[in-house]
Amino acid sequence: MAGAMVARFLRQQFADFFFKGRFMPKTREQKQQMIEGLAGKFGKMKSAVFTAVSGYTMEDADALRRKGREQGVELMVTKKTLLARALKEAGVLVDETILEGSILTAVGLQDEVAPAKLIHEFFKDRESVRMVGGILEGKAMDAASVIQLAKLPSKQELLAKVVGSLNAPVSGFVRVLSDNLRGFLCALQAIKDRKAS
């Protein structure tokens, strides 16, 4: 009798710990909080990419979130109805017909190109995943525009190119000065060798 009570208690504790609120339907209050949270992110974002996913595994999710954190991209899978309401609340007009099935949303808070580049590179070999659209500077983009955006260099790459082009004339000037100085020293050494012989 005591063993059955302990087993029932442990089952209940296990269920409460692992499943409480995870598989239960969301209340209106919870859904409204999710919508407000998403709308807040859409208000602060630089860009967002919407991706239709099927066959998206937990290993994919973990690896993608890890890469997203490194690049300043936040990832979330949301129901299309909640996503559409959050977009409306944020004042972003997106064609709701593109939001079909499970939608993975990548939101870039620091770099405009990072979400598109991250999704494009991570899923480029998978046919079960396709970009369906996105947002850049508060305006909706189609899938082709998102793919073009993904092929642009990132902000860090552009900054590196600017620094490299600013550095090129300075390093050329230093090279010319050092070559002249080296030539002058060679001439002095030659004069010294002639006088010594």
pLDDT digits 0-9 by tens, 62-119: 888 888 888 888 888 888 888 888 888 888 877 777 777 778 888 888 888 889 888 8
* Whether residue 18 has pLDDT greater than 60: no
Report the pLDDT value the prediction gives residue 13, as an integer from 0 to 100. Answer: 60
More confident residue, 19 or 136: 136
Mean pLDDT of the chain: 78
Two structure tokens written together for 166: 């600013």
Total-model pTM: 0.65
Q: Is the dihedral of CA 37, 40, 41, 47 positive or negative?
A: positive
Contact residues for 139 (Cβ-Cβ < 8 A; gap 6+): 92
Two structure tokens written together for 3: 């063993």
Query: Residue 192 — very low, low, confident or very high, per pLDDT cuts 50/70/90?
Result: confident
Q: At what angle do helices 58-71 and 114-122 cross, to 10 degrees?
A: 150
